[in-house]
Amino acid sequence: MVKILVPFLLVRVLRGWLYPGTRRNLVRRRNNVKDICEVAEALGIELISKSGGYWSLCPFHDEKTPSFKLSPEKGVFYCFGCGAKGNAFHLTQKMRSCNFEEASSWLLSLSLLTTNNKTVPMVEQKEINEHELRLVLSALARYYAKSLSESVEAGAARMYLYDRGISPETTIKFGLGYAPSRSIGQISASRYFLQELQQKNVSISIPAIDAVGVKSFPKRDRFAERLVLPIRDPAGQTVGFGSRLLPQPTIYKKNVPKYVNSPVSSVFAKSRLLFGLDQAAPFIRQHDEAIIVEGYFDVLTLHDCGIRNVVAALGVTLTRFQIEHAARYSESRAVILLLDSDSAGNAATDKLCASLLPNLVQDAGLDVSVSHLKPFKDAADFVQSIRKHQDDAGLRSLFAQTILANKIPWEQRRDKVLLGDLFKPGAPNENGDQDVQRQREVDNNSIVVI
Ligand SMILES: [Zn+2]
């Protein structure tokens, strides 16, 4: 027994002395991935939420219905089709065909890893020049816009915009586009377009093309057959794209997300951008007030009928940065939160007023109020219904009246939330995290406050 134990202990002691903290650091690194869902999205995996988890078509085998499941609470993935499994590091390594250190380094470069710099050696990465990324993105934006106006297969997208009441002028102003489905062998249409540009000596590199995520799976463009909405910085430069599934697409089956965004890159961080800000900024200044809505189409339809001091968050989050950013263009730093009138929108507004705004308003000196457009679900619904029997001038005045009539200071909403909680002793907070999280699972396009 002693003969076995002594060498065993000796090896343990020696290993600890030679490589202090190796195992501990490894474990810590694995625990420091912020969110496997964010990692998956950054890798170009499109997620949908259903039955208590996040699902996707498996990136490692060919399939038509999603069997690839992510469990954010455990930080792992598992494919019921091919058995692929692991944590965020395994996923990154497999998707990017790299080793553990390179995966760590990549995750770190996108701020998807929180770590002490000493524990993760930075592997030198080929730096993708920000200028080059912007060049690729603006070339793509032009390509998508041209496809929308010219290509035969974009007919469904043009019809969709027409049905939603988006005029050609607004379409052009916002640079809306369409991503064609055409594939050249294994190369997606968008990628083929960029590689053609590259051959014409336009200075773009393959890593820059990869970074904008125009091809997420071997056989499919991330935005193929979708309406594409450029996300621009305040200066009007395209930094990424949002996209919307069109009714009855030909290549998709069920279970695909309605909205898909560009992957995270050095110029595209969803939590720091607002849709429509480049168009809205002068009008926020003029009206001395910014209106924040939930969806791309709320912004587009309001803008279309002349209500232009409006911006939207991208996807499911509304952050402190976004609210402050919208307020920056108003002299009195006035912001109206006009989220959807459904339960998810209400829960998000409650949560904002109860938890995020108290500090934000104090720190940043904002003047925030809350309003709604009930009985209409959202601004797009309001515009579409009212436009049937009002001209745009009438609509604008009705909109202003409705907003004003329903407007309350954020503190009043906060007090209502707190009072509501007081009268439910012992009951779970119905506006709390769990509820918002549940809503997120029900409707992946609803706002969640973070
Ligand atoms: Zn699989």
Residue range 221-267, pLDDT digits in tens: 778 889 999 999 988 999 999 999 888 655 555 556 788 888 878 88
Ramachandran quadrant class, 46 (left: phi over 0; alpha: psi -120 to 50; beta: rest): beta
Distance between CA atoms of 382 and 315, rounded to whole angstroms?
A: 20
Looking at residue 145, what is its pLDDT? 96
Q: How many residues does the chain have?
A: 450
Question: Which secondary structure element, helix H or strand E, spans residue 396, and what is its range?
Answer: helix 392-406
130-268 against 277-449: fold identical: no
Q: Report the separation in Å between the CA atom of 58 and the middle of ligand 1, taken as the mean of its atom positions.
A: 5
Q: What is the pLDDT of residues 40-83, one digit of tens each?
A: 877 877 777 666 668 888 888 877 788 899 887 788 999 999 99
- Exposure class string for 267-292: b at 16+ Cβ within 10 A, else e: bbbbeebbbbbbbbbebbeebebbbb
Q: Report the separation in Å between the CA atom of 28 and the middle of ligand 1, taken as the mean of its atom positions.
A: 28
> φ, ψ for residue 422 (rounded to 5)?
-60, -35
Here the ipTM equals 0.98
Alpha helices by DSSP H, listed for 319-356, are 320-327, 343-351
Q: Report the separation in Å between the CA atom of 436 and the middle of ligand 1, taken as the mean of its atom positions.
A: 30
Looking at residue 314, what is its pLDDT? 81
Q: Looking at the structure, give the CATH architecture of the domain made up of residues 130-268.
A: Alpha-Beta Complex (3.90)
Q: How far, CA to CA in Å, does 350 sit from each of 257, 283, 420, 445?
A: 26, 27, 11, 18
> Of 222, 304, 303, 292, which is closest to residue 257 (Cα–Cα)?
222
First-to-last alpha carbon distance for the chain, in angstroms, is: 56
Could you tell me what percent of the chain has a pLDDT over 90? 36
Q: Report the separation in Å between the CA atom of 40 and the middle of ligand 1, taken as the mean of its atom positions.
A: 14
Average per-residue pLDDT for the chain: 79
Q: Report the separation in Å between the CA atom of 30 and the middle of ligand 1, taken as the mean of its atom positions.
A: 22
Residue 183 CB neighbour total at 10 angstroms: 17
Cis amide prior to 375 (ω within 30 degrees)? yes
| DSSP code for 354 | I
Is CATH 3.20.20.150 the classification given to domain 277-449? no
Q: Which CATH number fits domain 32-125: 3.40.50.1360, 3.30.230.10, 3.90.580.10, 3.50.50.60?
A: 3.90.580.10
Could you tell me what percent of the chain has a pLDDT over 70? 76
Q: Report the separation in Å between the CA atom of 80 and the middle of ligand 1, taken as the mean of its atom positions.
A: 7
Q: Where are the domains of the chain?
A: 1-29, 32-125, 130-268, 277-449
